[in-house]
Structure 1
Amino acid sequence: MHQAKNGTPASSLREVEWHKSDLSNPSGNCVELARLPDGGVAVRNSRHPHGPALIYTPAEISAFVQGAKRGDFDYLTD
C-alpha cells in the first residue's frame, strides 16, 4: 500500500479494518477508525464510507485519545 494522505478515498484503503465505538448511534452517525500499516490512523465518516479519510500520525492520534480520556473535549457534547 502506498503512503496514505489526508483526503485519500477511504475505500482505497483496502488493507485496513474499520472500527467504530460500541456507543455509536444506531442510525450510523459515527466515525470509524482504522490502523494503517505505518502505524498511523485513518478516520472516516460512517455515512460516507467511500469519502475522504483523514490520516493521523501515531503521535497525533495518541495525543487526541489521551485528551479525550482526560475530558478535554467534553464541552463538545454538552
Structure 2
Amino acid sequence: MSQIVNGTPAGQLPVVAWQKSRRSNPSGNCVEVAELPGGAGIAVRNSRDPEGPALIYTTEEIAAFILGARDGDFDHLLS
C-alpha cells in the first residue's frame, strides 16, 4: 500500500500491533491505536469494529492531542 489515507479499512492496513488503554473496559467501549510502518503515522480504530475504517494521524497530531489531554484541555468532555 503506497499511501495510507483516512477511512482505509483497518483490515487492509499493513500488519500492525494495535494497543488500547489499560483503562478500557470489557464492554468494548474503547479505541485502539497503532504505529504505522515507515513513519507513515498513527492509525486509530474502533475496537468494536476492528475491520472498519481507520483514522490516520501524523505523529505530530497525536503528540498534540496527548499533550493536550495531559494538560486537561478535554476534561470538560467527561462531565
TM-score normalised by the shorter chain: which range applies?
over 0.9
Partner SS, residue 67 of structure 2: helix
| 2:48 counterpart of 1:42 | no
Equivalent in the alignment of 2:8: 8
Identity of aligned residues (%): 65
How many equivalent pairs are there?
78
Displaced runs of 4 or more, over 3 A: none
Gaps of 5+ in 1: none
Alpha carbon RMSD of aligned pairs, Å? 1.1
Alpha-carbon distance between aligned partners in 1 of 2:2 and 2:32, rounded to the nearest angstrom: 21
What's the TM-score once normalised by structure 2's chain length?
A: 0.91
Asked whether the equivalents of residues 20 and 30 of structure 2 are also in contact (C-alpha less than 8 Å), the reply is yes
What's the TM-score once normalised by structure 1's chain length?
A: 0.93
